[in-house]
Structure 1
Amino acid sequence: MSSITKLLSILDLFSQARPFLSVEDVAAELDCSAPTAYRYVRELVDAGLLVRFAGGDYGLGPRIIKLDYHLRMSDPLLAVGQPIMRELSEHAGFDVVMSRWYGYELVDTHRETHDAALDLRYGRGRPRPLFLGAAPKAILCTFPKAKLAVLFDQYPDEIAQGGLGATLDEFRASLLKIRRAGFYLSRDELENGISAIASPLFTDDSGEAVGALALIVPTQRLEFANLDRLVESIQEASARTSQRTRAVIESRGTGAVASSHAASRARRSA
């Protein structure tokens, strides 16, 4: 592991259960000397990524908040999706959540709230289980076989506990059914009393989803809801978000190419 990787890995040591760390904690976790740990921590403090408290412990710094703001402002999927999610929430009468798949983590990036009394266990930035609930299954069903094989090698127990099969063939078969349906309905999978209907989100034409939109429905209300209408609504919102996001990304790429060509012409004329 390189020095920069070790340094940045310190940020992963913080959690809701462990919001503060000492230099000794960092040294123990990284299996390095106290002077090395102190040097790493000091560099993160200088960068604003950590802050030192009076007792000598360290916590996440203000730069994290600024980076989160820039991420929210620069993410085209989020920028495009927010008004569509708001419209869907108002029309359907339920909360709408956007989830994103990052490497081997799934996190919620935005929630449009219709029922303020609905207390969800997971929120923006808190990693969710990869194989439980509507959002991950709506995403996983679009992954290529090779990627699913890698996931199965790493998480066979979690996949089985998520009801997706005890073998790789069963895993693929379960996801193929979801893919053919174009959505996934979970009932009390992630939280008791909470159901969700999710549809995948795409940012290019690869066919591999990067996230999902989900309608969050209290399970007791699901039997009285028009399920077909809800499925149609979430699929339409996901498709519209995906299409508009691709257009934004493509326009950015076209603009960058045009700027590059203009710069080249300027250099030649000079």
Structure 2
Amino acid sequence: MSSITRLLSILDLFSETRPFLSAEDVGAELDCSIPTAYRYVRELVDAGLLVRFAGGDYGLGPRIIKLDYHLRVSDPLLAAGQPVMRELSEHSGFDIVMSRWYGNELVDTHRETHDTSLDLRYGRGRPRPLFLGAASKAVLSTFPKAKLAALFDQYPDDIAQSGLGATLEDFRASLLKIRRAGFYLSRDELETGVSALGSPLFTDDSGEAVGALAVIVPTQRLEFANLERLVESVKEAAARISQRTRAVIESRQSGGVGSPNSASRARKSA
């Protein structure tokens, strides 16, 4: 592991249950000397990625907030998705959530709230379980065979407990049904009393989803909801967001407004 990788890996040590760390904690986690740990955290403090508190512990710094802002304004899926999500929330009367798959994590990136009394356990930035819930299963259903095999090798127990199958063949067969349907309905999988309808989101024509759009429905309201209409609504909204995202990406790649090429041309003409 390179020194820069070790340095940045310190950021992964912070979590909801462990928001503060000492240099000694860092040294123990990275299996490095205390002087080296102090040097690492000082570099991260200088970069604004960590901040030192009076007691000597360290926490995540203000640069993280700035990076999150830049991520939100530059994410083409968010740019294309937010207006559609607002529209879907208004028409359906339910909350709408967008989730993105990063590496081997599924993270919520945006929520359009309709029911302010609905307190969801997961929110922007908090990873979801990989194999539970409408969003995760909608995304997984689009993955190629090799990627599913790699996930099954790594998480066989989690996959079996999620109801997706105890063998790779069963796992793939379960996801193929979801893929053919174009959506997945979860009932109380992540939170008691909370169900969701999820459909995959795409940024290219590879057929592999990068995220999912989900309508969040209190389980007690499912029997009164027009599920057929909700399914068509979330599938149509996901398709529109995917199409608009492709257009945004193509525009940026061709030097449209907001692309690096357009910014460079503007500087040269100034």
TM-score interval w.r.t. the shorter chain?
A: over 0.9
**Matched residues in 1 for 2:8 and 2:253: separation?**
30
Cα pair distance change 1:148/1:224, threshold 3 Å:
same
In structure 2, the partner of 1:163 is: 163
In structure 1, the partner of 2:75 is: 75
4+ residue segments displaced more than 4 Å: 256-260
In structure 2, the partner of 1:236 is: 236
| CA deviations over 1:50-86 (Å, ceiling 9, x no partner) | 0000000000000000000000000010011011000
**Matched residues in 2 for 1:259 and 1:234: separation?**
34
| CA deviations over 1:224-253 (Å, ceiling 9, x no partner) | 000000000000100000000001101111
1:258 shift after superposition: 11
Tell me if the contact between 2:14 and 2:21 (Cα under 8 Å) persists in the aligned partners. yes
In structure 2, the partner of 1:56 is: 56
Identical positions, percent:
84
In structure 2, the partner of 1:218 is: 218
| CA deviations over 1:169-224 (Å, ceiling 9, x no partner) | 00000000000101000000011000000000000000000000000000000000
| CA deviations over 1:66-115 (Å, ceiling 9, x no partner) | 00000000001001101100000000000000000000000000000000
Tell me if the contact between 2:252 and 2:260 (Cα under 8 Å) persists in the aligned partners. no
SS at match of 1:16: coil
| CA deviations over 1:103-157 (Å, ceiling 9, x no partner) | 0000000000000000000000001100000000000000000000000000000
**Matched residues in 2 for 1:250 and 1:206: separation?**
15
SS at match of 1:255: coil
**Matched residues in 2 for 1:30 and 1:37: separation?**
8
Residue 78 of structure 2 aligns to which amino acid in structure 1?
A: L
Q: Give unmatched runs, 5+ long, in structure 1.
A: none
**Matched residues in 2 for 1:251 and 1:117: separation?**
39
SS at match of 1:97: strand
Residue 144 of structure 1 aligns to which amino acid in structure 2?
A: P
Residue 17 of structure 1 aligns to which amino acid in structure 2?
A: T
In structure 2, the partner of 1:123 is: 123
Q: Give unmatched runs, 5+ long, in structure 2.
A: none
**Matched residues in 1 for 2:152 and 2:16: separation?**
28
Residue 154 of structure 1 aligns to which amino acid in structure 2?
A: Q
In structure 2, the partner of 1:255 is: 255
**Matched residues in 2 for 1:233 and 1:111: separation?**
17
SS at match of 2:189: coil
Residues 10-49 of structure 1 correspond to what in structure 2 (within 5 A)? 10-49=10-49
1:259 shift after superposition: 5.0
In structure 1, the partner of 2:201 is: 201
**Matched residues in 2 for 1:235 and 1:139: separation?**
13
Which shows bigger deviation, 251-260 or 3-12?
A: 251-260
SS at match of 1:228: helix
Q: How many residues align?
A: 263
In structure 2, the partner of 1:86 is: 86
In structure 2, the partner of 1:179 is: 179
Tell me if the contact between 2:197 and 2:216 (Cα under 8 Å) persists in the aligned partners. yes
Residue 177 of structure 1 aligns to which amino acid in structure 2?
A: K
The alignment status of 1:144 with 2:141, answered yes or no, reads no
SS at match of 2:191: coil
- Provide TM-score, normalisation by structure 2: 0.95
**Matched residues in 2 for 1:73 and 1:254: separation?**
19
- Provide TM-score, normalisation by structure 1: 0.95
CA RMSD, Structure 1 to Structure 2 (Å):
1.6
